[in-house]
Amino acid sequence: MSRKGRPDLHPRRRPMTDHERFAALVVCDLATRCWIWTGTVGGERMPRGQFWVDGHMVTAARYAWEEAYGPVPEGLMVLHKPRCSSAMCVLPTHLYVGTQFDNMRDRMEAGNYATRPKL
Ligand SMILES: [Zn+2]
């Protein structure tokens, strides 16, 4: 995708960058401050935002995390912090990298919190 030799005569009509495409599919939830993904969602048991980059699909959360912090270490996955309320959230500060085990533990802890009586 070289733009050499083709001066951009229509700067407003240039193709959007990956980042711009991503940003256009995210809305901010003012109540929770989550960044809610509004693009493609896939996965049957665990729905996740999907984003296409360079011909392959990554999860929207993973893309957001890598944009903010760099490549996800091999073998780890991008997970939502327990305090984040939406599986569709792609706010980097609501995400962390961990293992499948971390994910299960967080879900159990979140469940425990939910069963506590409210004051
Ligand atoms: Zn969130």
> Is the CB of residue 50 less than 8 Å from the CB of residue 39?
yes
Residue 40 belongs to some domain of the structure: yes
For 22-66, how does the pLDDT look when each residue is reduced to its tens digit (9 = 90+)? Answer: 999 999 999 999 999 999 999 888 889 999 999 999 999 999 999
Residue 1 belongs to some domain of the structure: no
For 54-78, how does the pLDDT look when each residue is reduced to its tens digit (9 = 90+)? Answer: 999 999 999 999 999 999 999 999 9
Q: Which residues are CB-contacts of 35 (< 8 A; sequence separation ≥ 6)?
A: 26, 27, 28, 29, 64, 89, 90, 91, 94
pTM of the predicted protein model: 0.77
- CA–centroid distance, residue 15 to ligand 1 (Å): 29
By C-alpha distance, which of 99, 103, 83 is closest to 91?
83
Residue 10 belongs to some domain of the structure: no
The per-residue pLDDT for 13 is 74
The domain of 108 spans: 15-113
The per-residue pLDDT for 106 is 79
Q: How many domains does the chain have?
A: 1
- CATH code of 61's domain: 3.90.75
Residue 4 belongs to some domain of the structure: no
Biggest CA–CA distance in the chain, Å, is: 67
Residue 7 belongs to some domain of the structure: no
- CA–centroid distance, residue 66 to ligand 1 (Å): 16
- CA–centroid distance, residue 83 to ligand 1 (Å): 8
- Specify burial of residue 3 (Cβ count, 10 A radius: 0-12, 13-18, 19+): exposed
